[in-house]
């Protein structure tokens, strides 16, 4: 569903972006998140302006002239329009991408394009115009296949097994998975404990409250 907004006399259509432009939006979302974490309010505002500029082409200078409420309204409308349809685990990765020597602006697009082109043989123009849900789903499948293949090869190699001198046996060490592929930790269930095993005497809780157990 598309929505429209008016800035001055000009009307702008807010629509769901295609992959290449959406990745620029994502880069800006990360920039906003980093500014939020460091409580950098100017960086946050710049990130919001840049986010809107990518989506509808309004310059930061024009946005700086607008009332804050309008800017936030536009920002939230663009965000709502461009949320992926599903909660892809790939996007929930908590590991911060490490900066490397060979980084450059908009590298995210080339990483995605490289993976999709390599697997499906599509050209850049086709990949750039992919629907974001399709692109995220496909990239996740590529990365899962890649990881499972590596795990298989790892299992066949000697380095996957280390000798435990106390048990005098070789033990298999799993190849670490990216955090978005790991199963969430199981919730610890409360265990009933017999009364005679309960501690006796004065118990001081973490909150400093004292309780006498008899």
Tell me: does residue 48 bind another protein (CB under 8 A): yes
In whole angstroms, the minimum distance from the beta carbon of 2 to another protein comes to 24
In whole angstroms, the minimum distance from the beta carbon of 51 to another protein comes to 12
Tell me: does residue 149 bind another protein (CB under 8 A): no
In whole angstroms, the minimum distance from the beta carbon of 18 to another protein comes to 26
In whole angstroms, the minimum distance from the beta carbon of 94 to another protein comes to 15
In whole angstroms, the minimum distance from the beta carbon of 163 to another protein comes to 48
Dig out the tokens for 153 from the structure.
């090869």
Tell me: does residue 96 bind another protein (CB under 8 A): no
Tell me: does residue 92 bind another protein (CB under 8 A): no
Residues in region 15-44 near another protein by CB under 8 A: 32, 36-37, 39, 41-42, 44
Applying CB under 8 A, the site for another protein has a residue count of: 19
Tell me: does residue 97 bind another protein (CB under 8 A): no
Contact 160, 172 (CB under 8 A): yes
Q: Which is nearer to another protein, 73 or 93 (CB)?
A: 73
Tell me: does residue 68 bind another protein (CB under 8 A): yes
User: Concatenated DSSP letters for the chain?
Assistant: --EEEEETTEEEEE-PPPHHHHHHHHHHHHHHHHHHHTT-HHHHHHHHHHHHHHHH---HHHHHTS-HHHHHHHHHHHHHHTS-SS--GGGG--SPPPP-TT--TTHHHHHHHHHHHHHH---HHHHHTS-HHHHHHHHHHHHHHHHHHHHHHHHHSGGGEEEETTTTEEEE-PPPPPGGGSPPPPPPPP----GGGS--EEEE-TTS-EEEE-
Dig out the tokens for 41 from the structure.
């309010």
Q: Which is nearer to another protein, 51 or 112 (CB)?
A: 51
Stretch of residues binding another protein (CB under 8 A), selected from 67-75, 96-104, 116-124, 145-153: 67-75
Tell me: does residue 72 bind another protein (CB under 8 A): yes
Contact 74, 82 (CB under 8 A): no
In the complex, the residues that contact another protein under the rule CB under 8 A are 32, 36-37, 39, 41-42, 44-45, 48-49, 63-69, 71-72
């Amino acid at each position: 569903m598309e929505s429209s907004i008016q800035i001055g006399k000009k009307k702008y259509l807010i629509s769901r972006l295609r992959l290449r432009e959406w990745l620029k939006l994502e880069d800006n979302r990360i920039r906003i998140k980093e500014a939020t974490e460091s409580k950098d309010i100017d960086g946050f505002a710049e990130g919001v302006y840049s986010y809107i500029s990518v989506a509808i082409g309004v310059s930061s200078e024009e946005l700086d002239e607008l009332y804050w409420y309008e800017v936030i309204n536009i920002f939230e409308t663009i965000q709502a329009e461009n949320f992926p349809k599903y909660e892809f685990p790939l996007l929930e990765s908590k590991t911060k991408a490490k900066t490397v020597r060979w980084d450059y602006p908009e590298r995210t697009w080339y990483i995605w394009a490289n993976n999709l082109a390599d697997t499906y043989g599509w050209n850049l123009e086709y990949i750039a115009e992919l629907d974001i849900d399709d692109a995220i789903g496909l990239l996740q499948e590529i990365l899962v296949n890649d990881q499972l293949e590596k795990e298989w090869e790892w299992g066949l190699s000697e380095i996957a097994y280390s000798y435990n001198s106390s048990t005098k046996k070789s033990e298999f060490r799993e190849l670490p998975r990216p955090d978005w592929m790991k199963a969430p930790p199981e919730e610890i269930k409360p265990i009933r404990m017999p009364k005679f095993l309960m501690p006796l005497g004065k118990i001081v809780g973490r909150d400093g409250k004292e309780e006498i157990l008899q």
